[in-house]
Structure 1
Amino acid sequence: MKILLIADIHANFEALQTVFDVPHDRAICLGDIVDYGPDPDKCIEFLQKRSIPTIRGNHDNAVAFKVDCQCGYKYKHLSIATREYTWEVLNELHMEYLKKLPLLIREEIDGKKLYFTHASPRSMFEYIKPETPDEEIKSMIDEATEPVEAEFLVVGHSHIPMNRKFSDLTIINPGSVGQPRDGDIRAGCAVFDTGNGEVEQLRLNYDIDAVCKKIEEQMPHAEELTGILRRGY
């Protein structure tokens, strides 16, 4: 089975549509559907209509419960500013959907145990990056809210693609669908093959001009937001 892994859509509907063109048998979303982008409602409805299992990310949590997203200082002011826009766009059903999203999903497929969560097993606010020290990752796993007990830990949050071995665990991050932060402006996703345990990291061109046009017409801090999309960080 080929599982399409997506994360950190951030209301970028054009990018979301594009990654779903990748051949796959099923999909799982690792959270952060909303904030930063112009189409939070369309992105939520897209996932709902396809019954895509979805984790609650820190931005989904902030929008749903009107709390701090605890995101990085560099982009936090944009998150706060665009949240007001997001609340205006979303209706009560959208908000209820975000509130009910789980914090983790466990699956065993083709004999492989997978643990899906937004950020780290310990917290939806912590980053696991390619350069995160092994000792720090060990603490995140040892102090997880629910035991990991898996061969594959699949996370998002950092917006940086990763396929990293840690002890007997493989940590996978598909990168960001709608807000890449690694200098590559293309939409990021990954395909996990449950048969052989291999991961294919993908980057796809999408209609970034259409997204930027909507941001410029509808959203605050448009110059900063479009600049991030066009730089990839």
Structure 2
Amino acid sequence: MRILIISDVHGNWNALRAVLREPHDAVMFLGDAVHFGPQPHECVEALRRHATWSVCGNHDHGVAFNVDCRAYGTWKAWDDATLEATRERLTPDDLAYLRRMPVIQQVAVDQTTFCLVHAAPTDPLYRYLPPDAPDDELIQDLALADADILLVGHTHVPMKRQFRRRTVVNPGSVGLPRIGSGAQYAVWEDGEITLGTVPYDVSAFVAQLQTLRLPAGVLASLAAALEGRSNP
């Protein structure tokens, strides 16, 4: 089985559409379908059709329940500027789907066990688990995960890390990567995980952002991040 592992789409339908063209038999989605991008409905609708297993991200939770996503800095500015437009573009069914998503999920495939969570098992929605996370933090998270492979998102930074016969993987971000541009993803096949990036028309997506009528500074910083010119 070939499993496509994706996270952090953030309303970027152009990027999601590109990555879903990658060959796959199933999809694992690690949260944050919505917020920031102008096509949250299209993203939720596609994930409802294609994602075999999904978990909720902090932005899915914040948008669905109209609560703080706990973003900070530049991300907080993007959050505030796009929240109302995001909610307006989602249907009641979209919001209900986001509310139903679990925050953590255990999956077994071909005798391999996976733990899916957006942030970290110790704090499924908000805590960051970066590539250089201390060993003592990994020990706690892997104990709670109780799986061969721990899959996380949230940082928007790809990671593949071996630790005590376990593997921790972050596929990066489909819609808003912190490093480079393009739609990032991972693939699990025959017991091996590989990280990848697929190109898409970023300039067309930046043009679509203008439909949100964002403040000039917010639009400029989002465009710079999407084009790989900044790392907020």
Instruction: Please classify the TM superposition score into its range, dividing by the shorter chain length.
Output: over 0.9
Summarize the Cα distance change of 1:110–1:140 in structure 2 as closer, same or farther, 3 Å threshold: closer
Aligned to 1:132: 133
Aligned CA RMSD, in angstroms, stands at 1.4
Q: 1:189 aligns with which of 185, 199, 212?
A: 185
Is the Cα contact below 8 Å between 2:56 and 2:118 reproduced in 1? Answer: yes
Residue matched to 1:163? 160
Alignment partner, residue 194 of structure 2 = 200
Following the alignment from structure 1 to structure 2, what is the Cα–Cα distance between the partners of residues 140 and 149? 9
Which string of whole-angstrom CA distances, capped at 9 and with x for unpartnered residues, describes residues 19-76 of structure 1?
0111111111100001111110100011113354221000000001111111243311
CA distance in 1, matches of 2:36, 2:212: 12
Q: Residue 222 of structure 1 corresponds to which residue in structure 2?
A: 219
- What is the percent sequence identity of the aligned residues? 36
The aligned counterpart of 1:115 is 115
User: Counterpart of 2:92?
Assistant: 92
Q: Is 1:85–1:219's contact at 8 Å kept on the other side of the alignment? A: no
Secondary structure of 1:135's counterpart equals helix
Deviation at 1:176, TM superposition (A): 0.4
Residues of 2 paired with 1:113 and 1:51: CA distance? 18
The CA deviation at 1:108 is 1.2
Aligned pair count reads 226
Check whether the contact 1:71–1:125 (CA below 8 A) recurs between aligned residues: no
The 3-state SS of whatever aligns with 1:60 is: helix
Gaps of 5+ in 2: none
Which residue of 167, 174, 178 corresponds with 2:175? 178
Q: 1:203 aligns to what SS in structure 2?
A: strand
Q: How does 1:25-36 map to 2 (within 5 A)?
A: 25-36=25-36
> Deviations along 1:60-104, whole A, 9 cap, x unmatched?
000011111112433112112211110111121111111001111
In 2, distance between residues paired with 1:51 and 1:78?
Answer: 26
1:144-202 alpha-carbon deviations (Å, 9 max, x no partner):
xxx321110011111011100122320011110000002x1111001011x2x211111
**Do 2:38 and 2:211's aligned partners in 1 also have CA atoms closer than 8 Å?**
no
CA distances 1:104-159 after superposition (whole Å, capped 9, x unpaired):
121111111111111100111011111111112223445xxxx3211100111110
TM-score between the two structures when normalised by the length of structure 2 = 0.93
Distance in 2 (alpha carbons) for counterparts of 1:139 and 1:192: 24
Name which of structure 1's ranges 77-86 and 220-229 shifts more when overlaid on structure 2.
220-229
Classify the secondary structure of the residue corresponding to 2:150.
Answer: strand
The farther-off stretch of 157-166 and 127-136 is 127-136
TM-score by length of 1: 0.92
- Pairwise CA distance, 1:218: 2.5
Contact 1:10–1:40 (8 Å) recurs in 2:
yes
**CA offsets 1:191-218 (integer angstroms, 9 cap, x no match):** 011x2x2111111110111111110233
Structure 2 counterpart of 1:189, one-letter code: Y
In 2, Cα distance between equivalents of 1:191 and 1:51: 14
